[in-house]
Amino acid sequence: AVMMLLNRRTLLASGGLLLAAACTRKFGSPERAGTLPIPRLVDARQHGQLINLRAQEGETTFFPGRRSATLGYNGSYLGPTLRVHRGDDVTMTVGNSLSADTTVHWHGLLVPGELDGSPHQLIAPGATWRPTLPIRQPAATLFYHSHAHGLTGEQVYSGLAGMLVVTDEEEQGLGLPSDYGVDDLPVLIQDRQFEDGRLVMPTGMMVASQGRRGNTILVNGAPTPRADVPDRLVRLRLVNGSNARIYELSFSDDRTFHWIGTEGGLLARSVELQALTLAPGQRAEILVSFADGKPVALVTAQDASASMMGMMGGMGMMGDHHDDEDDASTTETVLTFSPRPGLGGRAAAAVPLLLAARTVPDPEAAVRRRRFVLNMSMGGMMDSDDGAYAINDRPFDIDRIDEEVGLGDVEIWKVSGKKMAHPFHIHGVHFDVLRRDGDDPDLLDQGPRDTIVVKEAVELLVRFDQPATKAPFMYHCHILEHEDEGMMGQFTVG
Return the residues of window 394-433 that contact Cu ion according to CB under 5 A.
422, 427
The CB-of-451 to ligand C2O minimum distance in angstroms stands at 7
What is the separation of C-alpha 430 from the centre of its chain, rounded to a whole number of angstroms?
15
- Nearer of residues 32 and 482 to ligand C2O, judged by Cβ: 482
- State in angstroms the smallest separation of the CB of 107 from ligand C2O: 4
Nearer to ligand C2O, 211 or 344 (CB): 211
Please name every residue paired with 271 in a beta bridge, in sequence order, or none if there are none. Answer: 259
Taking CB within 5 to 8 Å according to partner kind, which of Cu ion, ligand C2O, none is near residue 476?
Answer: ligand C2O
Cβ of residue 427: shortest distance to ligand C2O, in angstroms? 6
Q: Which does 422 bind (CB under 5 to 8 A by kind): ligand C2O, Cu ion, none?
A: Cu ion
Give me the residue whose beta carbon is nearest to ligand C2O. 107
Cβ distance to Cu ion smaller for residue 92 or 477: 477
Residues 439-478 touching Cu ion, rule: CB under 5 A, are: 477
Identify residues 404-463 at the interface with ligand C2O (CB under 6 A). Answer: 425, 427
Contact 479, 152 (CB under 8 A): no
Binding string, 231-270, against ligand C2O, x = CB under 6 A? ----------------------------------------
Interface stretch with ligand C2O, choices 207-215, 326-334, 441-449, 470-478 (CB under 6 A): 470-478
Q: Residues 100 to 119: which contact Cu ion by CB under 5 A?
A: 107
Q: With respect to ligand C2O, which residue has the nearer C-beta, 120 or 476?
A: 476
Minimum distance, C-beta of residue 285 to ligand C2O, in the bound complex (Å): 18
Shortest Cβ 147–ligand C2O spacing (Å)? 5
DSSP string across 139-197: SEEEEEE---TTTHHHHHHHT-EEEEEEE-HHHHTTT----BTTTEEEEEEEEEEEETT
Residues 122-161 touching ligand C2O, rule: CB under 6 A, are 145, 147
Separation of alpha carbons 51 and 32, rounded Å: 28
Binding residue (CB under 6 A) for ligand C2O from 476, 484, 487, 491: 476
CA-CA-CA-CA torsion sign (193, 199, 205, 207):
positive
Alpha-carbon distance 467 to 474, whole Å? 13
How many Å apart are CA 164 and CA 184, to the nearest integer? 14
- CA-to-CA distance for 266 and 351, rounded, in angstroms? 13
Q: Determine the Cα–Cα distance for residues 165 and 186; give it in Å rounded to an integer.
A: 10
Shortest distance in whole angstroms from residue 73 CB to ligand C2O: 15
Of 394, 412, 391, which Cα lies nearest the Cα of 479?
391
Parallel/antiparallel/unpaired status of strands 105-107 and 468-477: unpaired
Stretch that binds ligand C2O, among 173-181, 262-270, 441-449, 472-480 (CB under 6 A): 472-480
- 27: Cα separation from own chain's centroid: 20
Contacted by 147, from Cu ion, ligand C2O, none: CB < 5 to 8 Å by type: ligand C2O
Q: How many CB atoms lie within 10 A of CB 167?
A: 18
3-state helix, strand, coil in the chain (%, to 5): 15, 45, 45
Our finding on whether 479 is near Cu ion (CB under 5 A) is yes
Phi, psi of 100 (to 5 degrees): -125, 160
Q: Which position among 265, 281, 423, 428 is part of the footprint of ligand C2O (CB under 6 A)?
A: 281
What DSSP designation does 399 have?
Answer: T
CB-nearer residue toward ligand C2O: 117 or 310: 117
Q: Which of residues 312-371 bind ligand C2O (CB under 6 A)?
A: none
Helix spans in 262-400 (H):
304-312
φ and ψ at 12, to 5 degrees? Answer: -60, -45
What are the C-alpha distances in Å from 327 to residues 216, 275, 301, 322, 410? 18, 19, 10, 10, 45
How many residues bind Cu ion, per CB under 5 A? 6
Single out the residue of 454, 474, 479, 487 in contact with ligand C2O (rule: CB under 6 A): 474
Closest CB to ligand C2O among residues 85, 478: 478
Supply the minimum distance, in Å, between the C-beta of residue 421 and ligand C2O.
17
Cβ-based nearer residue to ligand C2O, 18 or 109: 109
Binding site partner of 482, from Cu ion, ligand C2O, none, Cβ cut-off 5-8 A by kind = Cu ion
Rg of the chain on CA atoms, in Å: 21
Tell me the residue ranges of DSSP E strands in 197-232. Answer: 198-200, 216-219, 222-223, 226-230
Quick note: the x/- pattern for ligand C2O over 73-112, rule CB under 6 A, is --------------------------------x-x-----
- To ligand C2O, the closest distance from the beta carbon of 189 in angstroms equals 15
Burial 67-105 (b: 16+ CB within 10 A, else e): bbebbbbbbbbbbbbbbbbbeeebebebbbebeebbbbb
Q: Which chain residues interact with ligand C2O by CB under 6 A?
A: 105, 107, 145, 147, 281, 425, 427, 474, 476, 478
Q: Which chain residues interact with Cu ion by CB under 5 A?
A: 107, 422, 427, 477, 479, 482
